[in-house]
Amino acid sequence: MKVILLKDVESLGQAGEVVRVAPGFARNFLIPQRQALVATPASVAQFESRRRQTAAVSERERKAAEILAKELEKQSLTAQVRVGEEDRLYGSVTAQNVAELIAANGYEIDRRAIDLEEPIRELGVYSINVKLHAQVTAVVKLWVVKE
């Protein structure tokens, strides 16, 4: 039986491939788990049409993310924080703080898109990665200075 894989299936193939499998495996596992469709000429044509539409939308989103990345990379953010002895911060600068600084410049970025391995606890200049799309990442400069 031929099926179109809707998801990547280990040891069988990648999403979008037409593969031959045992009828029982298709009927009892792949189709009920929504991992495959029966490969009729109509379903193959429908799947290809849907894949082209999805690819076009993804390409538009990627191009918009690249434009936003170029604009963000021109920005220089400054976080003014209170410090104690030996220039140690009271608290820290987190991804939420960085998202608020970016929002103050007019760009709406989700805090989960900001890649901080751990909160910033010292003064200095930092390069922060902002993931805008699966294939697009912007690098923003953050200056952490005394208040």
Enter the pTM of the model.
Answer: 0.71
Token readout for 115 is 């890649």
pLDDT digits (tens, 9 = 90+) for 48-90: 898 899 899 999 999 999 999 999 999 899 999 999 888 888 8
pLDDT score recorded for residue 88: 83
Q: What angle do CA 51, 54, 59 make, to 5 degrees?
A: 125
pLDDT digits (tens, 9 = 90+) for 9-48: 888 998 888 999 999 999 999 999 999 999 999 998 988 8
66: amino acid identity, one letter = E
- Topology of domain 2-60 in CATH is Ribosomal Protein L9; domain 1 (3.40.5)
CATH of 65-146, one of 1.20.1250.20, 3.40.50.2000, 3.80.10.10, 3.10.430.100: 3.10.430.100
